[in-house]
Amino acid sequence: MFIYLSIHPSIHPSSQPAILSVCLPVCLSVCLSVCLSTYLPACLPVCLSACLTVVCSFFLYIFKFLYFLGCNETLTGFNGTFHSPNYPRKYPDGQYCSWRIAVSPTQQVHLTFTNFSLQSDNNTDGLYVYDGENSTGEVLGVFYGGHPPPKEGIYSSSNHMFLIFKSDRSGSYTGFSALYSAVDYSGKISVFLRGHYL
């Protein structure tokens, strides 16, 4: 349970003590009432372990649901802007946010960045761009501080683009500010090959 709490990417670290402060007293109360009548020495640790796993997981599920509600956005305008959490201040650790862009069916999405400042190493903080409505689409790029998006921008092949921003447990920067617009379909698509966009 503690390992799960500390590694789950969607949970902000500051929330972990709060979750524990709720589920621990609940489990102590339940297990004490159950074990006091059993006379089995192993009852309390076994009960606590099982209870914490179940109860804390339940609170985590509720927390995740509320957390993702505030961090997911669908953009349907002809054009628009969006940015990382807290921008232009530093984004918090432990973020997992998404943006779904949907424009007119006869158009495609052109995405550019007015600012991009993420942690420099791969597999720390990153922005994942998908060609489609969700993360099952083809990956158009994985961008981080050491590998920023191309200045000319990124094109989807259809009228949908999907983005996920993740930050890990330490090291935060100012993040990104992005601008998208619907452009008439030209067949242009961003293809990443051997370190260069074609």
CB 163, min distance to Ca ion, A: 17
Q: Is 24 left (phi over 0), alpha (psi -120 to 50) or beta?
A: alpha
Q: Which 8-state DSSP code applies to residue 27?
A: H
* Cβ-defined contacts of 25-32 (< 8 Å, 24+): 26/51, 26/55, 27/51, 27/52, 27/55
Q: Interface with Ca ion includes 121 (CB under 5 A)?
A: no
Q: Interface with Ca ion includes 145 (CB under 5 A)?
A: no
Q: Interface with Ca ion includes 125 (CB under 5 A)?
A: yes
- The encoded tokens of residue 56 equal 């804390």
x/- map, 58-97, Ca ion, by CB under 5 A = ----------------------------------------
Contact region for Ca ion (CB under 5 A) — 44-52, 83-91, 131-139, 166-174? 166-174
Amino acid at 58: F
List, as one string, the DSSP characters of 122-150.
Answer: TTTSEEEEEESSSTTSEEEEEEBTTBPPP
Q: Interface with Ca ion includes 150 (CB under 5 A)?
A: no
Contact region for Ca ion (CB under 5 A) — 55-63, 151-159, 163-171, 190-198? 163-171
CB 6, min distance to Ca ion, A: 15
Burial class (CB in 10 A: 0-12, 13-18, 19+), 159: middle
CB 124, min distance to Ca ion, A: 5
Contact between 175 and 85 under an 8 Å Cβ cutoff? The reply is: yes
Cα 35 to Cα 47: distance, rounded to the nearest angstrom: 8
Contact region for Ca ion (CB under 5 A) — 68-76, 139-147, 153-161, 171-179? 171-179
Q: Closer to Ca ion at the Cβ: 94 or 153?
A: 94
Q: Which of 95, 108, 119, 157 contacts Ca ion by CB under 5 A?
A: 119
Q: Closer to Ca ion at the Cβ: 108 or 167?
A: 167
Give residues in contact with Ca ion (CB under 5 A): 119, 124-125, 167-168, 171
